[in-house]
Amino acid sequence: MPRHYAIAVFVAFLVACTAQAPVEAPLQPPPAAPVVAEVPERPFPNDSLYALLVAEFALRRGAYDIALEQYRAQSPELRDVGVSAHTTQISQFLHRDQDTLQAAQLWVELAPGDMNARNSLATQLVSSGRGAEALPHLAEIERQGHGANFPIVLSNLERLTPTERDALAEDLDALSDEFPDNGSLLFAQALLQYEMSQPELALQTLAALFELEPAQPQALLLEGRIRNTLGDPRPYARIESVLADDPDNRALRLRYARLLTGSDMPAARRQFEILSKQAPDDADLLYSLALISRETGDSEAARAYLRQLLELGERQNAARYYLGRIAEDADDIDSALDHYQAVRPGDEYLAAVNRIGLIFISSGQLDRASAWFQTQRENYPTQRESLFGMQAELLDTAGYTREALTLLDSALQSTPEATALLYSRAMISERRDDLDAMEADLRTILAQDADNATALNALGYTLANRTQRLDEALQLITRALALEPDEPAILDSMGWVLFRLGRLAEALQYLTRAYAEFPDPEVAAHLGEVLWASGDRQRARDIWREAAMLDPNHPILRSTLERLQVTLPEVPPPESTRDAGS
């Protein structure tokens, strides 16, 4: 199920779109042309000089790990600006976050007037979820006339607690006294106000920004999003006005079109059509128009755009895949199969294989499905495990559970340590209520890889949900969460086991985070039940109602409502059959 684009995702999108950089980014050592250290102007101790020569030759050979090891050791000893700068740049290049942070801190300490140093430290602080600590460095960059990119402090906003967000808002407000006409700072304030559910205040801040920069693109997009959320009948009037005055502003029009896909597909299509007329051979625009046309029910237009892609020789796999989906929607199964079979390994390959397998298995052609998957495994052996798992999942979903298990048993005979296959068999065993078999397979995975967060979470959640082994479940989920602290599925598991342990307040915190990141009906069922048990029954009903709008027949959501004897009149009655391939 696709992720819901919550406020935090939109904030991240806007921050990523911010074009203004605080200062020119420091050069990083490219693989083919390593940075050459400057000759120091003061003598170094012999041991240090030797280490720096080792680092220099390592850089020339592209052995960046060795070079960084030498620079990291010498940087605090020598306290030399050039050495600290190189240490920062190499650790940035290698994505060694903690090393980068330590090196940049020393660089700024040694050269407080170097704006490249401050920019490197500010950027690393932000990526570490410490945006508030980056603000003083951004402020100094602005004071020195280099133009600070204040919105970057919001890049990891989801990591902050409400108290930390309040403190960040106060810090931004304090800076606004010093820089009252700074568009970058005003935009950062508006973004944070929007994230903190203060839409009216955000609109006021944006109004001040528009006085300075009437066509600031990120501000235009944010205002449109806010006004649409508030029910404004013309939420995008300012964007339309800017585009009317500057119809060739392709960058703004493209961002506007993408924004519209979340709320008004016909309007989005009109904008993409304008863009496509301006650039008729742009494959990305044709692809977007094809998907939007299919979404709005215009299969003929979608088919035409996809065929244009084929004629251009662009996005061949995607075009074939969606031509197959359109043919399948029209019950032209033979044409659908032809298109799917033309998809080669790439982004859409497994999806196309899945559709072919679904067509065969759902129509009872198990031998044909088996032959198809076997051919694919022979042609593309690197996909072997994925293909076995996919075939087993399709068989199980269609009711052929025994055949699915037989298939996995056979596959595991030749590769008994295949993690993906063990996991697939474990999940089928869980659905068959064979918890012993499920646990055995997950324990096998963990014996091979004790830090497999997926297996830890699956076992922990099942124990929490279906047994009384709650303490053991908590230990497993805690280990999984330490490995992947922001994974919604694990947050949901933690919330659920805490609820079962009677720790309602803690459970609510985890489930609220999980639901904000991934508003899946199962997460909603859990969050709603904790709210219900906590006495907030209206909020529980609201959460369940939102989930029912996504999937009124979700089994866990329905079983929760039935168990708690809750009736939601807005939830449609269960359907007698469902399209397993939709």
Query: What string of H, E and C letters represents the secondary structure of 118-132?
Result: HHHHHHHHHHCCCHH
User: What is the reported pLDDT for 44?
Assistant: 59
Whether residue 551 contacts residue 566, with contact meaning beta carbons closer than 8 Å, is answered with no
CA dihedral 12, 17, 18, 19 (to 10 degrees): 150
Going by C-alpha positions, the residue among 168, 166, 160 that lies closest to residue 133 is 168
User: What is the reported pLDDT for 13?
Assistant: 42
User: What is the reported pLDDT for 236?
Assistant: 96
- Work out whether the CA dihedral 41, 47, 50, 54 comes out positive or negative: negative
**Looking at the domain covering 265-343, what would its CATH class be?**
mainly alpha
CA distance 540 to 531: 5
User: What is the reported pLDDT for 432?
Assistant: 92
Residue 57, C-beta contacts closer than 8 angstroms, at least 6 positions apart: none
CATH 1.25.40.10 range(s) for the chain read: 265-343
Token pair of 54 as six digits:
């080792």
User: SS in 3 state form for 21-70?
Assistant: CCCCCCCCCCCCCCCCCCCCCCCCCHHHHHHHHHHHHHHHHCCHHHHHHH
Token pair of 504 as six digits:
């309602």
- What does DSSP assign to residue 158? G
374: left (phi over 0), alpha (psi -120 to 50) or beta: alpha
Residue 8, C-beta contacts closer than 8 angstroms, at least 6 positions apart: 157, 158, 195, 516, 517
User: What is the reported pLDDT for 461?
Assistant: 97
Whether residue 26 contacts residue 119, with contact meaning beta carbons closer than 8 Å, is answered with yes
Whether residue 61 contacts residue 67, with contact meaning beta carbons closer than 8 Å, is answered with no
Q: Which tens digit of pLDDT belongs to each residue from 91-134? A: 888 888 888 889 888 988 998 988 988 989 988 888 887 888 88
pLDDT tens across the length of the chain (582 residues): 333 334 333 434 444 454 343 343 443 443 333 343 444 455 556 667 777 777 777 778 888 888 788 878 888 888 888 888 888 888 888 888 888 889 888 988 998 988 988 989 988 888 887 888 888 999 899 988 888 889 988 887 777 778 888 888 999 999 988 999 999 999 999 999 998 889 999 999 999 999 999 999 999 999 999 999 999 999 999 999 999 999 999 999 999 999 999 889 999 999 999 999 999 999 999 999 999 999 999 999 999 999 999 999 999 999 999 999 999 999 999 999 999 999 999 889 999 999 999 999 999 999 999 999 999 999 999 999 999 999 999 999 999 999 999 999 999 999 998 999 999 999 999 999 999 999 999 999 999 999 999 999 999 999 999 999 999 999 999 999 999 998 999 999 999 999 999 999 999 999 999 998 899 999 999 999 999 999 999 999 999 999 998 888 899 999 999 999 998 865 454 443 333 333
User: What is the reported pLDDT for 32?
Assistant: 38
Residue type, 289: L
**What pTM was computed for the model?**
0.71
Going by C-alpha positions, the residue among 565, 521, 563 that lies closest to residue 544 is 521
